[in-house]
Amino acid sequence: MSILSDLRAGKITWSQAAAEVVAWGEKIVTGDPTLTAAVGAVVSDVKQAASIAVDDADAAFAKFIGPATATLETGLDTALAGYTHGLSLTFNPLINDTIDKIAAAATAEANAWALKAKAALAPAAAAPAAATAAG
């Protein structure tokens, strides 16, 4: 299978896919330091672009969730007031608080996903020299 197929099927992670792309690129340009450096630069640029895309997606979600929450609260308050002939108005703060908590949890989950995705794009830390010499 191709790297993209394996990635899409969940057989490999983003980090593994990046490592495979780098290894593939190194095989192609073996022996030419200029091409090796160019491939490394391209991979670095692709990772940076992916990181920016993750940030953009996270920011877009943050911009969406606030207005969507307010619209949902207003609509639900109005609908419940109509269905209950105003008896639900006492409970609106509780209902709205619950909706706000759900929105906050969704935002926190989106932020956690973004951090995880960006961490997967970061280069792996090198093993300490002492550990590699002893092993």
For the segment 40-74, what is each residue's pLDDT rounded down to a tens digit?
788 788 888 888 888 888 888 889 998 999 999 99
pLDDT, residue 127, reads 45
Single pTM value for the model: 0.59
| pLDDT (tens digit per residue) in 72-123 | 999 999 999 999 999 999 999 999 999 999 999 999 999 998 888 888 877 6
Distance in angstroms (rounded) separating the CA atoms of residues 68 and 55: 20
Q: Tell me how crowded residue 72 is: count the other CB atoms within 10 A of its CB.
A: 14
**Region label for 30, one of left (φ > 0), alpha (ψ between -120 and 50) or beta (otherwise):** beta
Give the 3-state secondary structure percentages of the chain, helix then strand then coil, rounded to 5: 85, 0, 15
Among 11-20, 27-36, 50-59, 113-122, which stretch is predicted with the lowest mean pLDDT? 27-36
Encoding tokens for residue 20? 């495979």
